């Protein structure tokens, strides 16, 4: 059905005022453009006392319909489109979305849907976005949470397509409405050399080996827990996968696929830790599964508390390694390669020094790790409670006073 080129509208005089009839285009639930005849109330006789006043009011309504740049309204709500978008994120095979990202998007929708969920998708524009940001700010949410919520809104609106794959609502978003994050105000904890040395000396076994490996390589915790024995060749480790809540998946980005060369004392200690094992995960539970991040995180918190240090996560070890390599004048291209960061300039794209394995080993031997690596892993003298550590490393949660796992 072709769209009417021009409409004049039909003015109707009612008992209590004026209304007009006209044709209006809209999108159905499948995104197909449809047309319907509607009647809109213009106002009562007090507001529109004369025929000319009513005619002017109708002309204003008709002008909106005759505006060819105006997108038709939709019958689908933002909530319904958000459900479609999330379903597509979970099932699509091309450029698959990782479970952790899906979880963050679902969390953001918890803040968005109560405010915008029942609005027609065609009405979610800059005005609705401004109200959302104001409401989230009034709730006292952090700018990072508000920013993630805004990004989700834009993605949901941008995911609406017609039968031919064309975008239904190409909204030009006002960048001023997106909350900004002040990097100086962000919490980015790290370790000092003294704090890290105390932590290494106070832990034992698997957990001590994981702390040494993370601090000396800058691996992400998921990358470390996803390591298998086959990824260690005696002097370096290959990052080919990562673990997220015990599930093996691809690394974070394409730059995360890399080979990280180990300082000789660390390589020796890791080789002794693996022993004669030829398969399985380097850090595994008694059932052969990768240890969960939360189990290791509990041990880290207990260890830091026992040492009187502020609570921080495993990413603090990654920041320590990055800062240490900078202070030792590590070649920038090799630093980014070892850390799994993306390139920032064309010179980084041209830099292929990281492909020279002998050069990488020489740099790894020269820069060191920034703390004293023990010759043997500790067996006693750790600060964590023995039962809690044993259960955590076995993949079992700690017990409450009633003896129930939580």
Work out the number of other CB atoms within 10 angstroms of the CB of residue 240.
Answer: 17
pLDDT tens digit sequence for 119-147: 888 889 999 999 999 999 898 888 888 89
The token pair that represents 217 in the structure block: 């390589």
Strands 247-249 and 242-244: antiparallel
257/340 Cα distance (integer angstroms): 7
The mean of the pLDDT values for the chain is 85
158/404 Cα distance (integer angstroms): 46
Classify 38 as helix, strand or coil.
strand
Average pLDDT of 171-182? 82
Position 175 scores a pLDDT of: 86
- Start-end of H helices in 68-123: 78-91, 99-116
Position 251 scores a pLDDT of: 92
Position 23 scores a pLDDT of: 85
287/376 Cα distance (integer angstroms): 25
The region, left, alpha or beta by phi > 0 then psi within -120 to 50, assigned to residue 38 is: beta
Which residue in 397, 393, 205, 215 sits closest to 315, CA to CA?
215
Which residue in 139, 130, 135, 141 sits closest to 181, CA to CA?
141
Position 350 scores a pLDDT of: 58
The region, left, alpha or beta by phi > 0 then psi within -120 to 50, assigned to residue 144 is: alpha
Dump the DSSP string for 284-337: B-TTSPBPPHHHHHHHHHHHHHHHTPPP--THHHHHHHHHHHHHTT--HHHHHH
Q: Please, are residues 150 and 111 in contact by the beta-carbon 8 Å criterion? A: no
Position 1 scores a pLDDT of: 41
The token pair that represents 322 in the structure block: 């990055």
396/351 Cα distance (integer angstroms): 45
Range in 305-314, 353-362, 374-383 with the lowest mean pLDDT: 374-383
pLDDT tens digit sequence for 17-50: 999 998 887 777 666 777 888 888 999 999 999 9
363 or 73: which carries more pLDDT confidence? 363
The token pair that represents 8 in the structure block: 């004049």
Strands 18-27 and 73-74: parallel
Q: Please, are residues 32 and 162 in contact by the beta-carbon 8 Å criterion? A: yes
pTM tops 0.75 = no
Q: Please, are residues 113 and 79 in contact by the beta-carbon 8 Å criterion? A: yes
Q: Is 405 exposed, middle or buried (0-12, 13-18, 19+ CB in 10 A)?
A: exposed
Position 34 scores a pLDDT of: 79
Show the domains of the chain with their CATH numbers.
10-74 (no CATH), 78-185 (1.10.150), 193-393 (1.10.443.10)
Average pLDDT of 64-91? 83
Position 163 scores a pLDDT of: 73
Dump the DSSP string for 182-222: -GGGS------HHHHHHHHHH--HHHHHHHHHHHHH---HH
Task: Give the confidence band of 381 by pLDDT, cuts at 50, 70, 90.
Answer: very low
Task: Give the confidence band of 51 by pLDDT, cuts at 50, 70, 90.
Answer: very high
pLDDT tens digit sequence for 299-354: 999 999 999 999 999 999 999 999 999 888 888 889 899 999 887 765 566 566 77
pLDDT tens digit sequence for 198-230: 999 999 999 999 999 999 999 999 999 999 999
140/74 Cα distance (integer angstroms): 33
Average pLDDT of 166-195? 83
314/301 Cα distance (integer angstroms): 10
Task: Report which listed range, 73-87, 205-219, 381-395, is most confident.
Answer: 205-219
Task: Give the confidence band of 62 by pLDDT, cuts at 50, 70, 90.
Answer: confident
Classify 22 as helix, strand or coil.
strand
Average pLDDT of 148-162? 91
The token pair that represents 239 in the structure block: 């990052």
Dump the DSSP string for 342-403: PP-SHHHHH--GGG-HHHHHHHHHHH--SSPPPSS--SS--SS-HHHHHHHHTT-PPB-TTS
């Amino acid at each position: 059905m072709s769209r009417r080129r021009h409409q004049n509208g039909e003015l109707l005089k009612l008992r209590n005022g004026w209304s007009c009839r006209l044709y209006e285009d809209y999108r159905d639930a499948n995104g197909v453009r449809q047309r319907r005849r509607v009647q809109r109330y213009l106002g009562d006789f007090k507001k529109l006392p004369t025929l000319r006043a009513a005619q002017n009011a109708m002309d204003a309504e008709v002008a909106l319909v005759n505006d060819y740049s105006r997108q038709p309204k939709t019958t689908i709500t933002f909530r319904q489109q958000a459900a479609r978008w999330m379903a597509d994120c979970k099932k699509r095979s091309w450029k698959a979305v990782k479970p952790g990202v899906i979880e963050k998007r679902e969390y953001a929708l918890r803040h968005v849907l109560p405010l915008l969920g029942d609005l027609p998708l065609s009405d979610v524009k800059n005005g609705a976005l401004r109200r959302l940001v104001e409401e989230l700010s009034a709730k006292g949410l952090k700018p990072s949470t508000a920013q993630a919520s805004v990004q989700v809104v834009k993605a949901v609106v941008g995911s609406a397509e017609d039968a031919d794959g064309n975008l239904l609502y190409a909204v030009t978003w006002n960048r001023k409405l997106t909350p900004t994050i002040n990097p100086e105000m962000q919490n980015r904890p790290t370790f000092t050399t003294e704090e890290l040395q105390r932590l290494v000396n106070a832990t034992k076994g698997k957990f001590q080996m994981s702390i040494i490996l993370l601090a000396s390589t800058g691996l992400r915790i998921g990358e470390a827990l996803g390591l298998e024995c086959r990824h260690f060749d005696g002097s370096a480790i290959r990052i080919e996968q990562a673990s997220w809540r015990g599930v093996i998946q691809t690394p974070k980005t394409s730059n995360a696929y890399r080979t990280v060369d180990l300082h000789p004392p660390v390589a020796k200690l890791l080789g002794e830790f693996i022993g004669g094992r030829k398969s399985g995960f380097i850090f595994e539970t008694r059932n052969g599964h990768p240890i969960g991040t939360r189990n290791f995180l509990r041990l880290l918190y207990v260890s830091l508390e026992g040492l009187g240090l502020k609570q921080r996560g495993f990413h603090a070890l990654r920041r320590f390694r990055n800062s240490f390599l900078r202070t030792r004048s590590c070649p920038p291209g090799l630093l980014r390669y070892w850390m799994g960061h993306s390139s920032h300039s064309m010179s980084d794209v041209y830099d292929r020094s990281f492909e020279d394995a002998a050069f990488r080993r020489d740099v790894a031997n020269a820069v060191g790790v920034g703390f004293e690596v023990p010759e043997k892993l500790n067996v006693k003298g750790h600060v964590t409670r023995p039962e809690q550590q044993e259960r955590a490393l076995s993949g079992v949660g700690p017990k409450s006073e009633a003896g129930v796992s939580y």
